[in-house]
């Protein structure tokens, strides 16, 4: 009896491992990894009130098996995102990667070529890991100079076109471009307030849907 018991044990453990792997493979939940800065990290907002969580709530309301993973860090740059992305890809194994970075590069006056290279590298790494990519564009105020402002805005489209990825041209459309946007920003005039978060979510929603499995 004892011999039969211990002979069967490795087979039982192997079967359990295969079963667990099969369950993981059959899990219909699509994971969306958002790697971003303070606008993703809910800076100055109530926890759970930011645009990423609003997207999660919308998926749940519609009964769609999607899990939003918020990897936003306040103050992060494209260089920071590039350095931490490999570990995030390995940990979460997402089906979609949303890259919301670049604004802090501009605030620090970093070379646009560096921002472009970092976004390109992150996009390539995400695709190599089997994920689709959604690039989130940003803009800077005109006081940075007209040439810098135009070039910064254009680099997101350039990366998206070159790498054949989806793009939201401007995350703050309908917020920062209003005649009087002050009512939709926090006191620092940089970060959108809670009232603005549904608009941000609505800007991302239709493009993100195109990257997810159809219902």
Contact 167, 207 (CB under 8 A): yes
Residue 102's nearest CA partner among 191, 162, 170, 36 is 36
Show the tokens assigned to 186. Answer: 């926090």
pLDDT of 9 above 60: no
Which of 37, 38, 40, 126 is labelled catalytic?
A: 38
Contact 175, 187 (CB under 8 A): no
Residue 144 per-residue DSSP state = G
Domains in the chain with CATH codes: 30-209 (3.40.50.1110)
Strand partners, 98: 34, 134
Mean pLDDT taken over the chain: 89
48 vs 143 pLDDT, higher one: 48
Active site residue 38: yes
Greatest alpha-carbon span in the chain: 83
81 vs 22 pLDDT, higher one: 81
Which of 5, 26, 180, 188 is labelled catalytic?
A: 188
Active site residue 191: yes
Which of 37, 40, 76, 191 is labelled catalytic?
A: 191
pLDDT of 53 above 70: yes
Active site residue 49: no
The whole model's pTM is what? 0.87
């Amino acid at each position: 009896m004892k011999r039969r018991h211990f002979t069967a044990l490795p087979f039982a453990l192997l079967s359990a491992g295969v079963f667990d792997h099969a369950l993981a493979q059959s899990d219909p939940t699509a994971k969306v990894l958002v790697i971003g800065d303070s606008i993703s990290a809910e800076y100055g907002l109530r926890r759970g009130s930011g645009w990423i969580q609003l997207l999660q709530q919308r998926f749940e309301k519609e009964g769609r098996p999607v899990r939003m993973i918020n990897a936003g860090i306040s103050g992060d740059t494209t260089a920071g995102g590039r350095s931490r992305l490999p570990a995030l890809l390995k940990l979460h194994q997402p089906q979609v990667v949303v890259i919301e970075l670049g604004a802090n590069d501009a605030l620090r006056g970093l070379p646009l070529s560096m921002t472009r290279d970092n976004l390109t590298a992150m996009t390539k790494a995400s695709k190599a890991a089997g994920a689709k990519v959604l690039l989130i564009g940003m803009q800077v105020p005109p006081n940075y100079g007209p040439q810098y402002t135009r070039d910064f805005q254009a680099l997101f489209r350039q990366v998206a076109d070159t790498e054949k990825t989806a793009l939201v041209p401007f995350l703050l459309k309908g917020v920062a471009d209003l005649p009087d946007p002050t009512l939709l920003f926090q006191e620092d005039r940089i970060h959108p307030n809670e009232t603005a978060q549904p608009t941000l979510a609505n800007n991302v929603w239709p493009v993100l849907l195109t990257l997810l499995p159809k219902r």
